[in-house]
Amino acid sequence: MVGVPLVLDMIFIWGPTIVSGLISLTNWNGIGSPFDAEFLGLKNYESLFTAYPFFWPALTHNIVWLAWLMLIATPIGMFLAVLLDREIRGTHFYQTIFYLPVVLSLAVIGIIWKLQYAPEQGFINNALGRTSNENLIDWLGNPDLNIWAALIATSWRHVGYIMVLYLAGLKAFDPALREAAKVDGASERQTFFRVVFPVMMPINVVIVVITTIEALRAFDIAYIINRGKNGLELLSTLITNNAISESNRLGFGSAIAVVLLVISIGPIIAFLVRMLRNSET
Amino acid sequence: MSAAIGTAVAPAVAVRRRRIRPRRVLLYGFLTSMAIVWLFPLAWAFYTSLRPFSDTQANGYISAPSVLNLDNFIDAWGRGNFETHYFNTLIITVPAVIVTLVLASMVAFAVSRFTWRFNLLVLLIFTAGNLLPPQVIIVPLFKLYTALKGIPEPLSDNDLLYNQFFGIFLINMVFQLGFCIFVLSNYMKTLSKELVEAALVDGAGVLRIWGAVIMPLTRPALAALATLEFTFIYNDFFWALILLKDGNRRPITSALNNLQGQFFTDINVLAAGALLAAIPTILVFLVLQKQFISGLSLGSTKG
């Protein structure tokens, strides 16, 4: 009953994860067995950190991505959840609207936002009157701007996602605690920050973990905009561009994968620890 | 339970509502303007898709329409080969959702009911696997797909997993197992232990208990997960992009990557194409909103 799924999980997920680590120590180009390739030690990592021009920009973009989601998109989602958790007329109507982007694929979202950002045909430049050649703003082509454009598009979905999760947590919140705080004369803001937020700590942890994982997984939107190049490099797009699309630098691509894996381990462990703690009680 | 909360809080709020009117107005004003901002990109895509290219060229994109019709949708459907891509999506997504749920509920049953030594470890392995960024495993996985031979005929026409519906089905299924096992095992923990024990006493086998007792009891969670997994797998972009070679085998979501190149010059048709790809998930969401949301909630609150 458990055997078949477990074997599949090992072959297709954990096997490749380990092999990634091994390949990253070789110069394997995809031909023949990876075990026959030349062993390079940490050379791939060395050239990744010192010589490869896209590594640090990509890492920076992932960090910017994470910071944006954590400091802007996630708090907006939580804020909407708090507002919609009250007795509000039409709360389901508002919820449906904010959830709606969550069901769309990031590929669709990328295209829908292209209709906003397109230099001559997009809504934003038309609204600003900047569609002629001398003054148009190239939102997706300008490497200083496109990451912010992508982040806004991503947030359109992320906010709703966080809102759903946080609302579920708030629904399970014991209303007696809130009543008690009110009786004690706490304002709504005090009630939230001093009572609700601390009690919701387990959910807050999940929200932080999910936000971090989303930031590390970011790929689809950058890829659909410009294949993750020219200002939109992310660790995830570097892996695919190095190892699959253009070149056959599988060892080198795997080294980037290992860096991404190492960064991901933190939030994954945080999630698992919480899961373990829950199953003990 | 939420209904009980609602009735308990309602009187208190009703009293307060009269006292802080201006804040209420502010609240509704804020929510309504946010809602408008949120709907705008989708509404704009819809509006653009209904206007012929000649109309937007003549009058500009921000203008009242002289003509509205579905020509762009027809155009996108034909040039984008939507029939093929929808079919590809169907043939991957439906089996993947079903098989994922069946296998996940077996594992979850075993993990939550039988306290054998490694049950927590199994749960950890699956859940952690689901949290990995897919790009971490793509290099060896790609090689595995192109090198592993002997996949039999109905599942593969080239002996490999690469460039096959079966391969995409498989990786989606394996990858999603983690999330489903996690949610279902949490759900099953809340079911009463006596039912299973009674069935065991009656001499029912484990498989029988799973099929006759557990599956019916977990139906609400399964329905929620089915809705959620349908959208997850439908929306998969990455696996199908990398692990399929032929453009005409791509399911609709990853086919969008080629479509946008093809419709590059005509953004109105691109809008229609993106909406065509979005419509199935929007419909599922509007019809099964409750399932969708409770699926997401099950994954976060009870964990």
Burial of B25 (0-12, 13-18, 19+ CB in 10 A): exposed
Contact residues, A window 177-196, toward B, CB-based 8 Å cutoff: 179, 182
Quote the CA–CA distance of A51 and A55 in Å, as a whole number: 9
Q: CA of B191 to nearest chain A CA: how many angstroms apart?
A: 15
Residue B35 to residue A264, Cβ atoms within 8 A = no
Neighbours of A109 (CB within 10 A): 24
Return d(Cα A4, Cα A1) in angstroms, integer.
7
**Nearest chain B CA: its distance from A120 CA (Å):** 9
Give the sign of the dihedral formed by CA A30, CA A31, CA A32, CA A35.
negative
| pLDDT string in tens for chain B (303-residue length) | 333 333 344 444 444 445 567 888 899 999 999 999 999 999 999 999 999 988 888 888 888 888 899 999 999 999 889 999 999 999 999 999 999 999 999 999 888 776 666 778 888 888 899 899 999 999 999 989 988 898 998 899 999 999 999 999 999 999 999 999 988 988 888 777 787 788 888 888 888 888 888 889 899 899 999 999 999 999 999 999 999 999 899 999 999 988 888 777 788 999 999 999 999 999 999 999 888 888 887 766 543
Q: Which residues pair with A39 in a beta bridge?
A: A26
pLDDT of residue A115: 94
Q: Which residues of A are less than 8 Å from B99 in CB distance?
A: none
Q: Where are the domains of chain A?
A: 3-280
Domain ranges within chain B, ordered by starting residue: 2-74, 76-301
Q: Contact B42/A13, CB-based, under 8 Å?
A: no
Backbone angles phi, psi at A26, to 5 degrees: -125, 175
Q: Determine which of A103, A120, A155, A157 to mutate to test the interface with B (most B C-beta atoms within 10 Å).
A: A103
Residue for token digits 């937020």? A197
Q: Which residue on chain B is closest to A171 by alpha carbon?
A: B2
Span B181-234, pLDDT tens digits: 988 988 888 777 787 788 888 888 888 888 888 889 899 899 999 999 999 999
pLDDT of residue B117: 64
In sign, the C-alpha dihedral spanning A173, A174, A175, A180 is negative
- Confirm if A48 and A251 have CB atoms less than 8 A apart: no
- B122 lies within 8 A of chain A by CB: yes
Place of tokens 């709606």: A100
Subunit contact A267:B131, Cβ cutoff 8 A: yes
pLDDT (0 to 100) of residue A31: 74
**Which residue's structure tokens are 């970011």?**
A218
User: Could you identify the residue written with the tokens 């199935």?
Assistant: B280
Domain B76-301: which topology?
MetI-like fold (1.10.3720)
Q: Do B293 and A99 touch (CB under 8 A)?
A: yes
What is the 3-class SS of chain A, one letter each residue? CCHHHHHHHHHHHHHHHHHHHHHCCECCCCCCCHHHCCECCCHHHHHHHHCCCCHHHHHHHHHHHHHHHHHHHHHHHHHHHHHHCCCCCCHHHHHHHHHHHHHCCHHHHHHHHHHHHCCCCCHHHHHHCCCCCCCCCCCCCCCCCHHHHHHHHHHHHHHHHHHHHHHHHHHCCCHHHHHHHHHCCCCHHHHHHHHHHHHCHHHHHHHHHHHHHHHHHCCHHHHHHHCCCCCCCCHHHHHHHHHHHCCCCHHHHHHHHHHHHHHHHHHHHHHHHHHHHHHHC
| Entry pTM | 0.90
Across the interface, of A9, A118, A261, the residue whose CB is closest to B174 is A9
- Window 201-220 of B: residues touching A by CB (8 A cutoff) are 206-207, 210
Q: Given this model, what pLDDT does residue A26 score? A: 87
Contact assessment for residue A124 and residue A169, using Cβ atoms and an 8 Å cutoff: no
Query: Does residue A264 contact residue B134 with C-beta atoms inside 8 Å?
Result: no
Distances (CA, A) of B291 to A199, A262, B223: 27, 35, 7
How far A31 CA lies from chain B's nearest CA (Å)? 10
Look-up: residue for tokens 């080969």?
A: B81
Give the integer Cα–Cα distance in Å for A118 and B263: 13
A160 vs B contacts (CB less than 8 Å): 38
CB A108 within 8 A of CB A196: no
CA A135/CA A71 separation, integer angstroms: 32
**Which residues on B lie below 8 Å from A14 (Cβ)?**
125, 129
Residue A268 contacts B where some CB pair is shorter than 8 Å: yes
Q: Does A6 touch chain B (CB under 8 A)?
A: yes
Architecture of domain A3-280: Orthogonal Bundle (1.10)
Name the residue among A144, A166, A3 with its Cα closest to residue A74.
A166
pLDDT tens for each residue of A96-106: 999 999 999 99
Instruction: Please tell me the distance from the alpha carbon of residue B176 to that of residue B127, in angstroms, as a whole number.
Output: 9
Nearest to A264 among B136, B231, B242 (CB): B136
In chain A, which among 39-58 make CB contacts under 8 A with chain B? Answer: none
**How does pLDDT run along chain A (281 residues), one tens digit per residue?**
778 899 999 999 999 999 999 989 988 877 777 777 788 889 889 999 998 999 999 999 999 999 999 999 999 999 999 999 887 888 889 999 999 999 999 999 999 999 999 988 899 999 998 888 888 899 999 999 999 999 999 999 999 999 999 998 888 888 888 888 888 888 888 888 888 889 888 888 889 999 999 999 999 999 999 998 889 999 999 998 887 765 678 888 899 999 999 999 999 998 888 877 776 65
Q: Which of A4, A12, A217, A274 to mutate to test the interface with B (most CBs of B within 10 A)?
A: A12
Is A104 within 8 Å of chain B by CB? yes
Which chain B residues contact residue A260 at CB under 8 A? 133, 135-136
Q: Which of residues 233-262 of A touch B (CB under 8 A)?
A: 235-236, 239-240, 243-244, 250, 253-254, 257-258, 260-261
Question: Which residue has 């946010």 as its token pair?
Answer: B34
